[in-house]
């Protein structure tokens, strides 16, 4: 797990060492265990290393005899099996990232088809004069790039390209509107003009500083026959789930350093802990956040039952009102590719606490998307005449009268994802799941996980987002996903069998962070400061902003959160300020 970046000049001129230095320095938090650098004429690459596997000889860049060199951010979980399959190959290290180099030599741009893991990989092939970039199919690990007159640059975080001076920090208004209405942005274009995401599953080839070829590796089955639900009875499905899940968690535990996990009171993280407990002879350490002194659901109620059943060591991490006021500017600063998801708050503090003891944590991201846990999926399953509802049909600010101009095209990216998800043979439920896997999952949930954890040099692993788990879960019949108006039917039954005390079939409220409650306690004071921010004045009516902060109830409370997040994000990433202190200090800087 690391931070990577690099440059290929368009003119063929030698890479400016100062640019590589700025890229490396801007990603220092992602890899405190060492730095690597590679320069070959017009191409240069850097890596800041967080050492997880092969602590002694796994430094990058890595090289192979044919002249290709690699830097990577991620983990290749099937590296042991890949090495065994390449009998006769002489490896220089025990790194999980060395096999991809030899796969590239054998399979060219299709090499990523053989990888099982989370990764953002850069390979420079000197003989061919090309730079190859690849990202895992779910987009667990990020990678950004910018093509300019100077050439091509890439980095693990968008802010690094700005810090290096490759592009300017300018907001794209269309992507800003998406952020305000959706909480995240869609597609390849980011909120920064000129900065693009490498899409999940994408491999590109760059020559002379320009993208010349693209390949795509899907996360979910796309072909007509394989994309349709498969016939399987419940008992057989339960047995298959157990086997597939055990294999995935076992592979995700491959590490040369200690690991822990994040535990909420939900089904997904309970399933992670149940399997970790089976596979580990010693107690697993589980971290749980809670919100003292608020009306928010206490995650510990169900988490403690799971802990007791598995014998785990439980670390309870309070996120109090004072944490909200002090940590929010830091969390917003970490989210350079912004997602206004209030779950960044507990994630940021959990990561800080876990990083005191560990370098790796497993978490339950992806369980809702693959096993159909969201209520919006159940709505999407219904035809219109049975009150079926389109997902994300309403934006955060619709009808509130806060914005100066109502965004018109904020849903275009989601609509495009919906159309692409409508593959032959797929059910309404599968289309909804596939739509979420295109943008919501990588650009909100996984961006949140990556930035909040890597801000503390902590690696996050997601065993649900494994190709074998994904194929099994996505192809389940709808009836094994949704039953009696409850999602994740099969997964609930598995958890219930392993941990009856977890109350897997109880109707639990969704995860909430009491941001509106905290904002309301200082709403008038906060509203004045937020309304006065240049970034907010540009898009919103000051009096309307002050009004919703004075009474942040219902949807207005959530809109307040989005405006506050955006104001703090803008201060750091567009205005370039690095204010010390909490929310009020940042807004007055």
> Quick check: 103 and 114 in contact, CB under 8 A?
yes
Cβ atoms of residues 450 and 334 within 8 Å: no
The Cα–Cα gap between 462 and 305 comes to 22
Q: How confident is the model at residue 581, as a pLDDT?
A: 94
> Which residue matches tokens 């498969």?
230
Q: Are 448 and 344 in contact (CB under 8 A)?
A: yes
List all residues 6 or more positions away from 552 whose beta carbon is below 8 Å from its beta carbon: 516, 519, 520, 523, 560
Q: Find out whether 439 and 414 touch, Cβ atoms under 8 Å.
A: yes
DSSP-based three-state secondary structure for 50: coil
Nearest CA to 365 out of 230, 469, 244 is that of: 469
Distance CA 369, CA 120 (A): 22
The residues facing 121 across adjacent strands are 72, 134
In the three-class reduction of DSSP (H, G, I as helix; E, B as strand; rest coil), residue 131 is classed as strand
Query: Is the distance from CB of 566 to CB of 171 less than 8 angstroms?
Result: no
User: What is the distance between the alpha carbons of residues 577 and 571, in angstroms, rounded to a whole number?
Assistant: 6
d(CA 449, CA 395): 24
Burial of 82 (0-12, 13-18, 19+ CB in 10 A): buried
Question: Are the CB atoms for 263 and 307 separated by under 8 Å?
Answer: yes
Please identify which residue in the block is written with the tokens 């309070």.
Answer: 318
Contact yes or no for 48/31 (Cβ under 8 A): yes
Fold (topology level) of 224-374+442-502: Rossmann fold (3.40.50)
> Which is it for the CA torsion 375, 380, 386, 389, positive or negative?
positive
The DSSP bridge pattern shows strands 117-125 and 144-148 to be: unpaired
pLDDT at 88: 87
How many angstroms separate the first and last alpha carbons of the chain? 34
Residue 433, Cβ neighbours under 10 Å: how many?
26
Predicted confidence pLDDT, tens digits, the chain (589 residues): 689 999 999 999 999 999 999 999 999 999 988 899 999 999 999 999 988 887 777 899 999 999 999 999 999 999 999 999 998 899 999 999 999 999 999 999 999 999 999 999 999 999 999 999 999 999 999 999 999 999 999 999 999 999 999 999 999 999 999 999 999 999 999 999 999 999 999 999 999 999 999 999 999 987 645 666 778 999 999 999 999 999 999 999 999 899 999 999 899 999 999 999 999 999 999 999 999 999 888 878 789 999 999 999 999 999 999 999 999 999 999 999 999 999 999 999 999 999 999 999 999 999 999 999 999 999 989 876 565 678 899 999 999 999 999 999 999 999 999 999 999 889 999 999 999 999 999 999 999 999 999 999 999 999 999 999 999 999 999 999 999 989 999 999 999 999 998 888 887 666 789 999 999 999 999 999 999 999 999 999 999 999 999 999 999 999 999 999 999 999 999 999 998 899 999 999 8
Handedness of CA 515, 519, 520, 521 (dihedral sign): positive
Calpha distance 297→315 (Å, rounded): 18
Tell me the three state secondary structure of residue 200. coil
Place of tokens 């090495």: 83
Q: Residues 44, 83: contact at Cβ < 8 Å?
A: no
210-216 sheet: strands from edge to edge:
62-63, 68-76, 117-125, 130-135, 202-207, 210-216
CA 249/CA 463 separation, integer angstroms: 6
User: Residue 53 phi/psi, 5° resolution?
Assistant: -125, 140
Per domain, the residue ranges of the chain are 2-216, 224-374+442-502, 515-587
Residues 550 and 562: their CA atoms lie apart, in Å, by 15
Burial of 29 (0-12, 13-18, 19+ CB in 10 A): middle
User: Distance between CA atoms of 339 and 332, rounded to whole angstroms?
Assistant: 9
CB atoms within 10 A of CB 208: 16
The residues facing 134 across adjacent strands are 121, 203
Cβ proximity of 344 and 336 under 8 Å: no
Give me the CATH topology for the region 2-216: 3.60.20
Dist. CA 481–CA 459, nearest whole Å? 30
* Dist CA 438 CA 430 (whole Å): 12
Nearest to 463 by CA among 541, 565, 377, 365: 365
- Neighbouring CB atoms inside 10 A of 55's CB total 14
Q: How many CB atoms lie within 10 A of CB 262?
A: 25
> Residue 207 forms beta bridges with which residues?
130, 210
d(CA 269, CA 289): 13
Give the pLDDT confidence score for residue 481 in this predicted structure: 97
Cis peptide before 431 (omega within 30 of 0): no
């Amino acid at each position: 797990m690391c931070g990577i970046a690099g440059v290929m000049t368009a003119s063929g001129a030698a890479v400016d060492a100062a640019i590589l230095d700025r890229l490396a320095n801007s990603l220092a938090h992602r890899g405190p265990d060492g730095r690597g650098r590679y320069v070959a004429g017009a191409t240069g690459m850097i890596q800041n290393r967080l050492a997880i596997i092969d602590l002694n000889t796994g430094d990058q860049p890595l090289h192979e005899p044919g002249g290709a060199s690699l830097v990577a951010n991620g983990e290749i979980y099937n590296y042991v099996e890949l090495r065994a399959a390449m009998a006769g190959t002489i490896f220089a290290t025990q790194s999980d990232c060395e096999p991809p180099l030899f796969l590239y030599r054998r399979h060219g741009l299709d090499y990523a088809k053989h990888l099982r893991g989370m990764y953002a990989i850069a390979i420079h092939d000197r003989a061919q004069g090309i730079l190859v970039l690849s990202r895992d199919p779910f987009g667990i690990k990020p990678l950004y790039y910018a093509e300019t007159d100077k050439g091509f640059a890439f980095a693990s975080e968008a802010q690094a390209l700005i810090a290096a001076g490759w592009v300017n920090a300018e907001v794209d208004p269309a992507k800003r509107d998406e952020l305000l209405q959706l909480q995240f942005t869609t597609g390849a274009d980011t909120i920064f003009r000129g900065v693009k995401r490498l899409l999940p599953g994408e491999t590109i080839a760059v020559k002379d500083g320009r993208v010349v070829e693209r390949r795509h590796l899907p996360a979910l089955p796309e072909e007509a026959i394989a994309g349709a639900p498969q016939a399987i009875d419940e008992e057989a499905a339960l047995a298959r789930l157990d086997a597939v899940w055990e294999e995935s968690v076992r592979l995700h535990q491959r590490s040369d350093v200690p690991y822990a996990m994040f535990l909420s009171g939900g089904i997904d993280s309970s399933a992670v802990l149940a399997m970790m407990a089976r596979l580990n002879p010693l107690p697993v350490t589980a971290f749980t956040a809670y919100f003292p002194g608020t009306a928010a659901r206490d995650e510990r109620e169900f988490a403690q039952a799971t802990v007791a059943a598995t014998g785990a060591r439980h670390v309870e991490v309070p996120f109090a009102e004072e944490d909200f006021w002090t940590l929010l500017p830091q969390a917003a600063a970490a989210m350079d590719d912004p997602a206004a998801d209030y779950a960044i708050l507990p994630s940021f503090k959990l990561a800080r606490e876990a990083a005191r003891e560990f370098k790796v944590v497993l978490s339950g991201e992806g369980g809702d998307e693959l096993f159909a846990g969201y209520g919006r999926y159940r709505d999407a399953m219904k035809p219109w005449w049975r009150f079926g509802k389109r997902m994300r049909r309403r934006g955060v600010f619709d009808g509130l009268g806060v914005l100066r101009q109502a965004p018109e095209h904020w849903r275009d990216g989601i609509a495009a994802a919906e159309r692409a998800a409508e593959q032959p043979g797929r059910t309404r439920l599968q289309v909804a799941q596939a739509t979420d896997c295109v943008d919501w999952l990588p650009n909100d949930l996984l961006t949140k996980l990556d930035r909040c954890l890597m801000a503390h040099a902590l690696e996050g692993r997601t065993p649900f987002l494994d190709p074998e788990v994904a194929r099994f879960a996505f192809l389940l019949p709808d009836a094994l996903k949704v039953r009696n108006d409850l999602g994740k039917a099969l997964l609930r039954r598995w958890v219930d069998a392993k941990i009856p005390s977890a109350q897997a079939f109880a109707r639990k409220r969704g995860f909430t962070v009491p941001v509106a409650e905290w904002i309301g306690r200082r709403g008038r004071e906060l509203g004045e400061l937020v309304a006065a921010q240049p970034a907010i004045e540009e898009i919103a009516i000051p009096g309307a902003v002050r009004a919703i902060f004075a009474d942040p109830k219902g949807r207005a409370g959530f809109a307040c959160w989005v405006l506050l997040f955006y104001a703090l994000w803008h201060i750091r990433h567009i205005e370039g300020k690095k204010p010390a202190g909490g929310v009020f200090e940042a807004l007055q800087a």
